[in-house]
Structure 1
Amino acid sequence: MDWQKGEESQNVEVDSGGGGGGRGFGGGRMGIGGLIILALLGWIFFKNPLALLDQSGGQPGTSAPSSQPAQVDPQQKEFVSRILGSTEKTWGDIFSSMGRTYVDPKLDLFSGGVNTACGAASTAVGPFYCPGDQKVYLDLDFFRELDTRFHSSGDFARAYVIAHEVGHHVQNQLGIFAKVSQLQRQGVPMEGADGLSVRQELQADCFAGVWANRTQQRLQWLQPGDVESALNAASQIGDDTLQREARGTVVPDSFTHGTSAQRVKWFKTGLQSGDIQQCNTFSGPL
């Protein structure tokens, strides 16, 4: 992947440690946005997200566990910046075509732990998006795990991870987070093979595919094997694959992100169409 062709974003922040000054919802306690993100966190690890977030509810001044100044290689930061910049250009153009304005997210590079508007999170959470502060959070150590644990090397696999989290920001901008919250209050389950969380995650995969399609048309930056590396990354992080690896069994009732086949399917749907209208995962079978 010739990622140097990407536009460089000015929205990448390197966390200075101490939790980054996160703030809480509703007078310092976690509100509905935080509750939604609890169901969505644990993007990679099959763990209870409540165990991964600080139980203080993200009160101001609360430090994330083992938070420390992020040590970021300049080339890695440039890579993240150019991938994020490419998403800003792509989604800015798409929103403009719909008569809307896309507000760029921030991307926080942290190490060990970080405070967010959704609570304090550790590296174990993996990359995630917090709707409360409209930030993507990423510990670059995750990329090493992507190589070693998930056998998904390559720049485009890493770019897919960023684009997926930006996909959640797009959902937030489009009001999908608010609709999911409303449906949850009406009793629609978050977890499960047909739950809201799975549908929301698969849509973010589809949005990542839309980004890949549109950006490739504009920059022509992909090389042989790049698409395969991203598809492999998607297949390695399905709920069924992770549960089988961790437990030896698969429990569909606890799914939060979709199966490996579903994640590949929806990323390919966006990649092949380049059309967000094809990403309606909330209607019909998955």
Structure 2
Amino acid sequence: MRWQGGRRGGNVEDRRGMGPVGVGGIGVGGVILAAIGYFVFGIDPSTTMAVVEGVGGQAQQEQAGVRGAPTDEAGQFVDVIEGSTTDVWTPIFAQNRQSYQPPAAIVIYSQATGTGCGTGQAAMGPFYCPADRKVYLDLSFWQELETRFGAKGEAARAYVLAHEIGHHVQHLTGQTDRVERGSRGEDSSAVRLELQADCYAGVWVAHAAEASGGQVALDPKDIEDGIRAASAVGDDTLQRQTQGRVMPDAFTHGTSEQRMRWFRTGVQTGDPGACDTFKAARL
């Protein structure tokens, strides 16, 4: 994957090495994060809640990290990919007479940190918090992505970041709020939201090279790496790994086949309009 010459947006908040600081108490956000940990990564919810409760009591406000452009390669990669997503989504929004606003920050941290959605921990993997419009990532997840999920390479990592930015796009367009208001009784609403974010990640792939003047680009092999990453984090695959059986009623992100197909749809069309999973007859 080509990225080293890409524009660095400087929209990274580096909290690595600063120690876990929470936002005070468990609250609804802590429950949400416990659910993320269980359904996405198979973590016992009691473990997550214990961490949230223990860390959350240390402080009443979020910890402020160092803002700007990291100097290490791992931080630079995150910085460039975030900048590239901004370069892709800005003209797409402009075509619809809308103004794209990047996430408030991509927060890279170690072990645990305070968020607008409660206390986040590394074991949950990357996530987007709509309350503070930030993406949170412990870079140790890259190792987890390779060793546990078998998704290797920078393209797989870029897919993960672009997926979380996809959730930010959903927040900006109001899709997330519409799901929360109108689809709470639909078992498939959360899955449709996640599959749409996968498709949006594919849209970024489709436009990255043009938007960056070729400085950020994925070749066919890179795209396959991204597709394998999408497959590796399918609900059915994760449930087999963690529980030994598949429980469709507990799906929150979609099957491996669905995640691959919607990511591929974004790559092949480059059109966010093709990502309307809420109108799709077939997920």
TM range (shorter): 0.7 to 0.9
Pick closer, same or farther for the CA change 1:226–1:10 going to 2, 3 Å: same
Alpha-carbon contact 1:111-1:123 (below 8 Å) kept: yes
Find the counterpart in structure 2 of residue 8 from structure 1: 8
CA-to-partner distance for each residue in 1:128-176, whole Å, 9 max, x for gaps? 0000000000000000111111121111111000000000000000001
Alpha-carbon contact 1:62-1:115 (below 8 Å) kept: no
TM-score by length of 1: 0.84
Q: Distance in 2 between matches of 1:49 and 1:170?
A: 28
Alpha-carbon contact 1:58-1:116 (below 8 Å) kept: no
User: Is 1:251 aligned with 2:244?
Assistant: no
Pick closer, same or farther for the CA change 1:43–1:159 going to 2, 3 Å: farther
User: Is 1:188 aligned with 2:185?
Assistant: yes
Q: Distance in 2 between matches of 1:55 and 1:138?
A: 20
How far is 1:9 from its partner? Answer: 1.3
Find the counterpart in structure 2 of residue 267 from structure 1: 263
Q: Distance in 2 between matches of 1:268 and 1:107?
A: 25
How far is 1:63 from its partner? Answer: 8.7
| Structure 2: stretches of 5+ with no match in the other structure | none
How far is 1:21 from its partner? Answer: 6.1
Q: Distance in 1 between matches of 2:39 and 2:11?
A: 23
Find the counterpart in structure 1 of residue 137 from structure 2: 138
Find the counterpart in structure 2 of residue 90 from structure 1: 88
How far is 1:47 from its partner? Answer: 3.5
Q: How does 1:164-179 map to 2 (within 5 A)?
A: 164-179=163-178
Find the counterpart in structure 1 of residue 203 from structure 2: 210
Find the counterpart in structure 2 of residue 118 from structure 1: 117
How far is 1:58 from its partner? Answer: 6.1
Q: Distance in 2 between matches of 1:30 and 1:58?
A: 13
Pick closer, same or farther for the CA change 1:176–1:48 going to 2, 3 Å: farther
Q: Percent identity between the aligned chains?
A: 43
Alpha-carbon contact 2:38-2:45 (below 8 Å) kept: yes
Secondary structure, aligned partner of 2:144:
helix
Pick closer, same or farther for the CA change 1:73–1:217 going to 2, 3 Å: closer
Alpha-carbon contact 2:235-2:252 (below 8 Å) kept: yes
How far is 1:267 from its partner? Answer: 0.2
Q: Distance in 2 between matches of 1:234 and 1:138?
A: 17
Query: Which of 88, 97, 100 is equivalent to 1:99?
Result: 97
Partner amino acid for 1:247?
Q
Q: How does 1:45-60 map to 2 (within 5 A)?
A: 45-47=41-43, 51-53=47-49, 54-55=52-53
Secondary structure, aligned partner of 1:104:
coil
**RMSD, aligned α-carbons:** 2.9
Partner amino acid for 1:225?
K
Q: Distance in 1 between matches of 2:7 and 2:71?
A: 19
How far is 1:217 from its partner? Answer: 3.3
Pick closer, same or farther for the CA change 1:44–1:200 going to 2, 3 Å: same
Alpha-carbon contact 2:34-2:48 (below 8 Å) kept: no
| Structure 1: stretches of 5+ with no match in the other structure | none
